[in-house]
Amino acid sequence: MTTPDVHEDVRGRPPVTERRLHPVTPFRRAWAPVAVLIGWALHDPDQAQRQLTRLTTTTLLIALAVLVPAAALYGFLSWWFTHFAVTDSELRIRTGLVFRRTAHIRLERIQAVDVTQPLLARVAGVAKLKLDVIGTDSKDELAFLGADEARALRAELLARAAGFAPETAHEVGEAPSRQMLRVPPGVLAVSLLLTGATWGWLIVACVAVPLLWTATHSLWTVLAAAVPMLGAAGASSVGRFVTEYDWTLGESPDGLRIDHGLLDRAHETVPPGRVQTVRLVEPLLWRRRGWVRVELDVAGSSNSLLLPVAPRELAESVVARVLPGVSVPPREALVPPPRRARWCVPVWWRGYGLTVTDAVFAARHGLLRRSLALVPHAKVQSVRLVQGPWQRARGVADVVVDTGANKSVTAHLRDAAEAAALLHAQAERSRTGRRDARPDRWMA
Amino acid sequence: METGSPRDTGPAGTGRTARAAEPVGAGDEPVWIALPPGLLKMRRLLLVVWLGLLTLATGVVPGLLAGPGWAAFAVLPLALLLWGWVMLERNWRSWRYAERADDLLISRGVLWRQETVVPYGRMQLVEVTSGPVERHFGLSSVQLHTAAAATDATIPGLDPAEAERLRDRLTELGEARSAGL
């Protein structure tokens, strides 16, 4: 009796069209064996030299004749067996040659959509698309799609996630985007020059290298010490410049759009109501210019930067857009811990501060590099009060709020009675703060 | 009565039926529930077994090999055992939880005190676990998971029936007040 019904039901549904990735996909790992060979040759040059002389043309040809088709076959089959499909409520990815793997990603749960184009992918005109849902990892990214196809797919996924009718979701197209802010390269370069980390590593290198040289007179020791230090200095200056170049922040009905990168381009979309925490970071050397760096936490997303550098007023207006109804509390509004807290954390207690507004829990820490974290009440998952023996003797306690992005924000060293009251008040606000939050399907 | 700490003997022994009859009110004053004594018994037994063996080993082995004077080393693990005996009780007494109208409170720790509040609507998963030793003593732990991994809301050493009641109640309340991220 029931079987025909089920059958009818299945037949009645529109067929799910499965698609394959872009045909260049198999080549994305083609560099790996070459890199292994080069690494081996560099690591042990003598051995490599000896092995090379032993190779005759015949053995080389035979090896190539076996390896190249095997690799090509593996690449082709893994591409052939990878399918993806978009249904009304899910993105389905079916992959795996030997170990099959099927991922169904629910669209209303998406926290962010990333389209990234590494340098070589830009040359080939392809892009990676990744849906950030809690629990997804690099296996769940669609790499690679044609660049236009990736944009179209992103628009379709966002339209479906937003709650447009399934029949029209395909034709809704890209939501119009309005540019909010663009970080000029000059400002970015100056801001990175004013970052302590680069200079710290350079100074350490300048001190350590001569010391090591006088102590050991061994070139290898000096190189082994200097290369990582200079690498760290490079990563925190040139590396950051390259990734944060041309940082553009846009606003669209689908949420925030973040585009950046000099060589590798990345385009992120964070739908409304997905931001769990916003942090305004103010390094010491930026203070005179009134610049801040804005970081954000989105559950399941690896990206944590909203703005690499911006004047404070602009950054505050951006925060007001990202967290609707939130204004960044001014410096005077933050209440410092009681004076007796200095016995728990000697000098740095002055950097702590807390204020709770109708919309956010705002806690500041840091004396030289100030950081102000804002957590909307609706995003608080649990509240904890933590008090060690030394803190109890001084009558202070920490209050910690945990957010869904696996980050916690701590209000350090509050008065014990205030902390106890805050614990319960915050739990209450967390519960009620959810009521006027927007639905997961933001256009529905 | 041995159950619970002195200040809330009432709820620990009789509270179960009483609370079932009238749900916890507006949440003004939480009704704290202490842990049953089984957990203390189990932890003390484990302590005595392990440190007792260690005391014996440190007493007998140097005593036989290097002379009876060296057997005095056994005093160290013995002192640790006695100290642990007292500390375990203090720690066990410090654990308590309260189900309020809209959230669950868990309070614990003697020196490092921690109090956790989890609104029911934020619960993603409730887990009841019980290891072999715990099962032998008739104990289960209830663990609450929210979307934040930092949420550390575990109640150890509950009576299995109470653990299941708590699990069902939390799940039910969680469903009723459920909210997304």
- Measure B116 CA to nearest chain A CA, in Å: 4
Note whether A93 and A84 are within 8 A (CB).
yes
Give the pair of three-digit tokens for residue A123.
């040359």
pLDDT bracket for residue B35 (50, 70, 90):
very high
Tell me, yes or no, whether A154 and A135 share the same domain. Answer: yes
Q: Given a cut of 90, is residue A225 above it in pLDDT? A: no
Please state at what angle helix B38-66 crosses helix B75-94, rounded to 10 degrees. Answer: 170
Tell which A residues from 293 to 322 touch B, by Cβ distance under 8 Å.
299
- What's the confidence (pLDDT) of residue A166? 67
Which of A155, A178, A201 is the endpoint of a domain? A178
Range of the domain at A164: 13-178
Q: Given a cut of 50, is residue A261 above it in pLDDT? A: yes
Residue of A nearest to B26 (CA): A428
Examine residue B111 and state whether it is found in any structural domain, yes or no. yes
- What's the confidence (pLDDT) of residue A396? 95
Note whether A319 and A341 are within 8 A (CB).
no
Which of B30, B61, B88 is the endpoint of a domain? B88
- Which residues of chain B make contact with A133, given a CB cutoff of 8 A? none
Q: List the beta bridge partners of residue B99.
A: B104
Q: Which residue has the higher pLDDT, A10 or A32?
A: A32
The number of C-alpha atoms within 13 Å of A443 and in the hemisphere containing its C-beta is 17
Tell me, yes or no, whether A39 and A66 share the same domain. Answer: yes
Could you give the number of structural domains in chain A?
3
Lowest mean pLDDT among A10-14, A134-138, A352-356: A10-14
Q: What is the pLDDT of residues A126-154, one digit of tens each?
A: 999 988 887 777 778 888 899 999 999 99
- Which residues of chain B make contact with A408, given a CB cutoff of 8 A? 148, 150
Range of the domain at B148: 96-181
Q: Which amino acid is at A174?
A: E
pLDDT bracket for residue B27 (50, 70, 90):
very low
Q: Given a cut of 70, is residue A12 above it in pLDDT? A: no
Q: What is the pLDDT of residues A77-132, one digit of tens each?
A: 888 999 999 888 889 999 888 888 888 888 888 889 999 999 989 998 999 998 88
Tell me, yes or no, whether B176 and B102 share the same domain. Answer: yes
> What average pLDDT does the structure give for chain B?
82
Could you give the number of structural domains in chain B?
2
- What's the confidence (pLDDT) of residue B4? 38
B122 and A CB contact within 8 Å: yes
Examine residue A262 and state whether it is found in any structural domain, yes or no. no
Which residue, among A239, A337, A267, A19, has the nearest Cα to A121 in the 3D structure? A267
Tell me, yes or no, whether B178 and B127 share the same domain. Answer: yes
Residue of A nearest to B114 (CA): A386
Tell me, yes or no, whether B84 and B104 share the same domain. Answer: no
Give the pair of three-digit tokens for residue A379.
């995003």
B176 and A CB contact within 8 Å: no
Q: CATH no. for residue B102?
A: 2.30.29
Tell me, yes or no, whether A357 and A426 share the same domain. Answer: yes
A192 and B CB contact within 8 Å: no
Q: Is B148–A381 a contact, with Cβ atoms under 8 angstroms apart?
A: yes
pLDDT bracket for residue A195 (50, 70, 90):
confident
What is the C-alpha to C-alpha distance for residues A1 and A7, in angstroms, rounded to an integer? 11
- What's the confidence (pLDDT) of residue B6? 39
Tell me, yes or no, whether B119 and B174 share the same domain. Answer: yes
Tell me, yes or no, whether A99 and A237 share the same domain. Answer: no
Examine residue B1 and state whether it is found in any structural domain, yes or no. no
Q: Is B181–A392 a contact, with Cβ atoms under 8 angstroms apart?
A: no
Give the pair of three-digit tokens for residue A383.
């509240």
- Measure A50 CA to nearest chain B CA, in Å: 53
Note whether A132 and A114 are within 8 A (CB).
yes
Tell me, yes or no, whether B67 and B117 share the same domain. Answer: no
Examine residue B7 and state whether it is found in any structural domain, yes or no. no
Examine residue B57 and state whether it is found in any structural domain, yes or no. yes
Tell me, yes or no, whether A166 and A292 share the same domain. Answer: no
Tell me, yes or no, whether B122 and B177 share the same domain. Answer: yes
- Measure A16 CA to nearest chain B CA, in Å: 28
Which of B88, B106, B123 is the endpoint of a domain? B88
- Measure B2 CA to nearest chain A CA, in Å: 28
Q: Say which of A387, A403, A440 has its CB closest to residue B180.
A: A440
Examine residue B106 and state whether it is found in any structural domain, yes or no. yes
DSSP A238: I
Tell me, yes or no, whether B126 and B152 share the same domain. Answer: yes
Lowest mean pLDDT among A151-155, A269-273, B177-181: B177-181
Tell me, yes or no, whether B181 and B112 share the same domain. Answer: yes
Tell me, yes or no, whether B129 and B102 share the same domain. Answer: yes
Q: Given a cut of 60, is residue B18 above it in pLDDT? A: no
Tell me, yes or no, whether B178 and B133 share the same domain. Answer: yes
Q: Say which of A111, A386, A424 has its CB closest to residue B117.
A: A424
Q: What is the pLDDT of residues A304-320, one digit of tens each?
A: 899 999 999 999 999 99
Q: Which of B104, B115, B118 to mutate to test the interface with A (most CBs of A within 10 A)?
A: B115
Examine residue B73 and state whether it is found in any structural domain, yes or no. yes
Examine residue A162 and state whether it is found in any structural domain, yes or no. yes
Tell me, yes or no, whether A336 and A428 share the same domain. Answer: yes
Tell me, yes or no, whether A99 and A60 share the same domain. Answer: yes
Note whether A191 and A286 are within 8 A (CB).
yes
Count Cβ neighbours within 10 Å for each residue of B80-117 and write b for 16 or more, e otherwise: ebeebeeebeebbbbbbbbbbebbbbbbbbeeebbbbb
Examine residue B34 and state whether it is found in any structural domain, yes or no. no
Examine residue A310 and state whether it is found in any structural domain, yes or no. yes
Lowest mean pLDDT among A164-178, A368-382, A393-407: A164-178
Tell me, yes or no, whether A126 and A89 share the same domain. Answer: yes
A vs B: CB pairs below 8 A: 84
A431 and B CB contact within 8 Å: yes
Examine residue B54 and state whether it is found in any structural domain, yes or no. yes
Tell me, yes or no, whether A169 and A294 share the same domain. Answer: no
> What average pLDDT does the structure give for chain A?
87
| Preceding amide of A144 cis, omega within 30 | yes
Q: Is B181–A387 a contact, with Cβ atoms under 8 angstroms apart?
A: no
- Which residues of chain B make contact with A400, given a CB cutoff of 8 A? 150
Tell me, yes or no, whether A195 and A173 share the same domain. Answer: no
Give the pair of three-digit tokens for residue A2.
């029931």
What string of DSSP letters covers A29-87?
GTHHHHHHHHHHHHH-HHHHHHHHHH--HHHHHHHHHHHHHHHHHHHHHHHHT-EEEE-
Tell me, yes or no, whether A74 and A31 share the same domain. Answer: yes
Q: What is the pLDDT of residues B87-109, one digit of tens each?
A: 999 999 999 999 988 889 999 99
Tell which A residues from 360 to 379 touch B, by Cβ distance under 8 Å.
379
Tell me, yes or no, whether B114 and B178 share the same domain. Answer: yes
- What's the confidence (pLDDT) of residue A257? 93
Tell me, yes or no, whether A47 and A196 share the same domain. Answer: no
Tell me, yes or no, whether B101 and B82 share the same domain. Answer: no
What is the C-alpha to C-alpha distance for residues A8 and B3, in angstroms, rounded to an integer? 61
| Average of per-residue pLDDT across A44-71 | 80
B151 and A CB contact within 8 Å: yes
Examine residue A132 and state whether it is found in any structural domain, yes or no. yes
Q: Is B181–A299 a contact, with Cβ atoms under 8 angstroms apart?
A: yes
